[in-house]
Every structure is written in C-alpha cells, then in structure tokens.
Amino acid sequence: MISIKSEREINLMREAGMMVSKTHKYLKPFIKEGITTKELDKIAEDYIRSMNGVPTCKGYEGFPAALCTSVNDTVVHGIPGNYKLKNGDIITIDMVIGYKGYQGDAAWTYAVGDISDDKKYLMEHTEKALYEGIKMVKPGNRIGDISASVYKYAKEHNLGVVKELCGHGIGTEMHEAPDVPNYGTFNTGPRLKEGMVICIEPMLNFGSSKVYLMDDEWTVKTMDKSPAAHYEHTVLVTKDGYEILTPRLV
C-alpha cells in the first residue's frame, strides 16, 4: 500500500525536507581536505538537533551515525570514521531527518578540492539522471517511467547503474512502499497519485556497476574500485506534477 499524505502531513514533510536541505548547506563549507568523516557527522548531528530534528539514520537497524559518508568507490552507507578527506576525493553525504514523526531524505555528492574530469562528468550526469527521473513524476505516470528514464539517461552517458539498491516511498518511515528502482520499463509499475511522496536516488559509476558489501555489513563499494556518485531527492506528487521537498540550497 502506498500512502497518500494529507495536507497536514505534507506540511510536516516539507519542514523535514527543508531541514535536510539546510543541513547540506551548513555542512558544505566543512567538506574540505583534512576533515574526517566522523567530524562531519558530529557537525551535522549537532546542527540537526539544534533545529529539533531527529537524525533518523542513527540507530536505524544499528547504523551508528547521523550521516552516511561515502567516499570515492563507496556507493552508499559509508560509516563516518577516522578517514581524512583528501584533495581529489568525492564524497556523498546522505541523510534522513525526522521532524514531528515525518522524514526527509536527500543525498548528494561533493567534490573535495580539485577533482578529475572523470569525477566531474560522473557527478554532473548522476545529478542529471536524477532530474530525468523527477521529470516523470505526475499523477497517472508510473514508477517504471521514472526508473526507465533514469536508466536511459545513464546509459546514454555510458555510466553504470547500481541495481542492488533503489529509491523508496517515505513518510513516517524512512522506507515505505513502493520501491523505486533505477532501471525498468516505461508504462509499468504502480501509478503515481497526488499526495504520494517518494525518494528517487540513482547511484551511478563508471564501468561494470557491480558492487559488494563490506564486512561491516553497511558499506557498499564498487567491485572494480571505480568512483560512484549518488543523488537523491524526496519528491511529492502534486496535482499536475511534482514538488521537490529537499531543494538544493547550495
């Protein structure tokens, strides 16, 4: 069952989403050579709590931190730790914030200092793949329209699509129905209706797109060690289209 949010719920999700956007903006100047991912996590958690938000990832199925910090060949769910960012790294910051019981979720990838042209290409086109998916969001369209659009764009730009992980519905829970895969077939899957809220989140890389799970049971890396990028927005289905609940402020 895909829940339809009331006007009251949508307003709370807007607030939760805005907290996610603000936390990304607040963190950005700290994403520099020399800072550890654990320090970034602490800065984010303190800021989230200062807004009376809840860092939903912390404690979620045992995840130990407020942020997922995924550097270079880490695709998702990197655990903040003692790694110090280096010039030329890319890092995806993914976070979920709860506010009055409702969740907002957004990830995007940041450059640390000067990055290679390949990494720039990967970041640019992963974000554009996300927007290709978002453009399909309107009542009457189907989840498969989003999935197929993301996949088509990625393939046209010679990028690999991670298939093991996907987007999701969101509301009082971080993960609700439906699944929103990053590959699929146009005109298939559940139909979108006004008041649904979903997270669309392509994870793209160069090369084979195969991934593996590390022994910590969280960190997902590319098999061939190629860098990965990941962009995610929380998106509301409106009367005639969509509204991004986690707008980019930076």
Binding-site ranges for ligand MF3 (CB under 6 A): 57, 60, 63, 68, 77, 94, 96, 105, 107, 199, 201
Q: Are 95 and 104 in contact (CB under 8 A)?
A: no
DSSP classification of residue 60: G
Strand order in the sheet with 160-161: 160-161, 203-205, 228-230
Binding string, residues 28-67; x marks residues near Co ion by CB under 5 A: ----------------------------------------
Residue 12 contact among ligand MF3, Co ion, none, beta carbon within 5 to 8 Å by kind: none
Kindly tell me which of 31 and 96 has the beta carbon lying closer to ligand MF3. Answer: 96
Min dist CB 232 to Co ion, Å, is 5
Min dist CB 180 to ligand MF3, Å, is 10
Tokens 């719920």 correspond to 9
Residues 168-227 contacting Co ion, CB under 5 A: 199
Q: For residues 231 and 17, what is the distance between their CA atoms, to the nearest angstrom?
A: 15
Q: For residues 23 and 133, what is the distance between their CA atoms, to the nearest angstrom?
A: 24
Residue 68 contact among ligand MF3, Co ion, none, beta carbon within 5 to 8 Å by kind: ligand MF3
Q: Amino acid letter at 66?
A: A
Min dist CB 114 to ligand MF3, Å, is 28
Min dist CB 75 to ligand MF3, Å, is 11
Kindly tell me which of 173 and 224 has the beta carbon lying closer to ligand MF3. Answer: 173
Q: Which stretch binds Co ion (CB under 5 A): 35-43, 63-71, 97-105, 127-135?
A: 97-105
DSSP classification of residue 172: S
Q: For residues 80 and 132, what is the distance between their CA atoms, to the nearest angstrom?
A: 30
Alpha helices in the chain (DSSP H): 7-27, 37-50, 117-134, 143-156
Q: For residues 77 and 164, what is the distance between their CA atoms, to the nearest angstrom?
A: 13
Q: For residues 205 and 60, what is the distance between their CA atoms, to the nearest angstrom?
A: 27
**Is 105 among the residues that bind Co ion (CB under 5 A)?**
yes
Number of residues near Co ion (by CB under 5 A):
2
Binding-site ranges for Co ion (CB under 5 A): 105, 199
